[in-house]
Amino acid sequence: MKHRGRHRRRRRGRALRAALAGTALALTAAATMISTSQATVADDPGALESLTSAEATAPLRLTERPVPRDWLDRLSDGMGPAVPMDAVLADADGVLREADSCPADDRRALPVEPEATRAYCWDGADTSGWEAGAVTTSGDADDDGRWGPHRVILSGWSRSGPVSGGPGDASADGSPAGADGTTGRDGLARVAFVDRDAAGGPSYTWVLLAVPVQEGRDYRALASSVSGMVWYQDKLLVTADRQDGSALYVYDIDRVQRASVSGPSVGRVADGWSAAGARYVLPAVGAYRTTGADAPLPGGISLDRSTTPDSLVAHEARPEGDDDGPTRLWRYAFSVDPLRSGLLATDPASRVDAVAAYETRLTDVRSVLSHRSGWYLGRVTGTPDERGTLWRQDTEGARPVRCGADDTYRCWSGDAGSLSHWQETGEVWSQSGRMLFALPLDSVDRSLD
């Protein structure tokens, strides 16, 4: 699909950075030790099991809930016109550093096998107290890999803790805001808009994610860990923690608003609009809600352009410490209606049904990518300081990425929680700790046992 008439460019390769190669070699020895936790199922999870019964697929159904248009118009009238992507990218908060100038402790988050071919780190002071989350790119947004003239990466971050804001009655998802001036939620979520081609290195601008309240007269912070994020056409889909039945929030990338007040509050304040220190805010335009209190929520999500139509894939989010059972994987189709750009396909009752669902015996899944019938699953195998594993699984079987003298599975970044395939370049982007990195999908396939 071509969006806004942009044309495809040729793939450009870059040489493997010496710093990354050196880091990977230094870490290989540490990756050769295998603990007993890799036995049994982790050694061979077998093939994916298709879930086809109504009983198995019905809990995956979502209901689309758009924010009323008059709410969005009222908020825009109060805050001023939307800020175009060009202006957001030009108004940078900082610049990412190349891997060879990053601290050694940060570089340890990079995978051993396959090696990253691009890697950058975030400034420690700018991300202190924040947890890295999902990554998506303009390679998801448009198949030519660009948004206008720009190649853009969106990097999600979250922070827990109380958030101050203006009083409100109810948000678009039906959640109350406190009369004491708090949002009724703890936490913040923000996205770094990264200009990959900026002079002097990739630069980034922080944008706070928000949800309209008081019929568009105010907004509250999105309190979510941002475990999954997909930018498709002009919409950004972001996962939500289990707090109000919302599985995904929907953002319009063309509705970035400028905050006029710099301070810790979120929303309307006496002197204008505040975004917890960020200079820009992106209000939600809708949400997808689950059908029941016990319905599974998506953890990691990604875009699959190898299906017709394009689809959103997800793995099941499980509470911490509750990873004993199998993990569900599923996909939703995107709408082909030009009036519903970037939204999921719905029936006349605004319901979204999974078009395919599977079950994997792998547990502790933290990232998912689907491409040409193969499912790539990142798995945590211990503490965040330990290396994780990366598997390719389908209905025929499963194979892990191996490395080291004894072919250990522990080759992947232990804390990476996102996989995003940039189709135009063939790269997979991910993020772990303060490292943002990419590697060719082909190199993953070559590393499979």
Report the distance separating Cα 231 and Cα 236, nearest Å. 4
pLDDT tens digit sequence for 404-435: 766 788 899 887 789 999 999 999 999 999 99
pLDDT tens digit sequence for 178-228: 323 334 458 999 999 999 999 999 999 999 999 999 999 999 999 999 999
Report the distance separating Cα 212 and Cα 69, nearest Å. 11
Residue 113 has pLDDT above 60, yes or no: yes
Report the distance separating Cα 379 and Cα 391, nearest Å. 8
Taking only Cα atoms into account, the Rg of the chain, rounded to an integer number of angstroms, comes to 21
Report the distance separating Cα 96 and Cα 195, nearest Å. 10
Report the distance separating Cα 306 and Cα 309, nearest Å. 8
pLDDT at 185: 58
Q: Exposed/middle/buried for 396, CB within 10 Å: 0-12, 13-18, 19+?
A: exposed
Sign of CA dihedral 142, 147, 150, 153: negative
pLDDT at 41: 57
Three-class DSSP category at 197: coil
Which element (helix H / strand E) includes 347? none
pLDDT at 241: 83
Q: What is the DSSP letter of 30?
A: G
Sign of CA dihedral 252, 258, 263, 266: negative
pLDDT at 409: 84
How do beta strands 203-213 and 246-252 pair?
unpaired
Sign of CA dihedral 72, 204, 249, 1: positive
Sign of CA dihedral 35, 39, 45, 51: negative
Residue 391 structure tokens: 């598997």
CA angle 34/438/196 to nearest 5° reads: 155
pLDDT tens digit sequence for 40-72: 456 789 999 999 999 999 999 999 999 999 999
How do beta strands 97-98 and 118-121 pair?
antiparallel
Report the distance separating Cα 339 and Cα 335, nearest Å. 9
pLDDT tens digit sequence for 348-376: 999 999 999 999 999 999 999 999 999 99
- The residues pairing with 431 across neighbouring beta strands, listed in sequence order, are 436
User: What global pTM score does this model have?
Assistant: 0.88
Question: Alpha carbon of 160 to those of 133, 282, 382: distances in Å?
Answer: 13, 19, 23
pLDDT at 42: 60
pLDDT at 207: 98
Report the distance separating Cα 426 and Cα 434, nearest Å. 23
Compute φ and ψ for 371, nearest 5 degrees: -155, 120
Residue 226 structure tokens: 């941002």
With beta carbons less than 8 A apart as the criterion, state whether 419 and 300 touch. yes
pLDDT at 6: 36
Q: What is the DSSP letter of 242?
A: S
Question: What is the strand order of the sheet 427-432 is part of?
Answer: 97-98, 118-121, 435-440, 427-432, 420-422
Report the distance separating Cα 147 and Cα 153, nearest Å. 10
pLDDT tens digit sequence for 147-188: 999 999 999 999 987 776 654 434 444 443 332 333 445 899
pLDDT tens digit sequence for 224-260: 999 999 999 999 999 998 666 789 999 999 999 999 9
pLDDT band at 389 (very low <50, low <70, confident <90, very high): very high
Residue 254 structure tokens: 């063309």
Residue 446 has pLDDT above 80, yes or no: yes
pLDDT at 36: 39
Question: Alpha carbon of 386 to those of 62, 324, 428: distances in Å?
Answer: 35, 19, 21
Residue 37 has pLDDT above 70, yes or no: no
pLDDT at 243: 65
Residue 196 structure tokens: 């990959």
Could you count the other beta carbons within 10 Å of the beta carbon of residue 432? 25
Residue 339 structure tokens: 């009036």
Q: Exposed/middle/buried for 215, CB within 10 Å: 0-12, 13-18, 19+?
A: middle
Residue 275 has pLDDT above 50, yes or no: yes
Question: What is the strand order of the sheet 374-379 is part of?
Answer: 365-371, 374-379, 389-393, 398-400
Residue 432: closest CA among 364, 386, 371: 386
Residue 206: closest CA among 104, 142, 282: 282
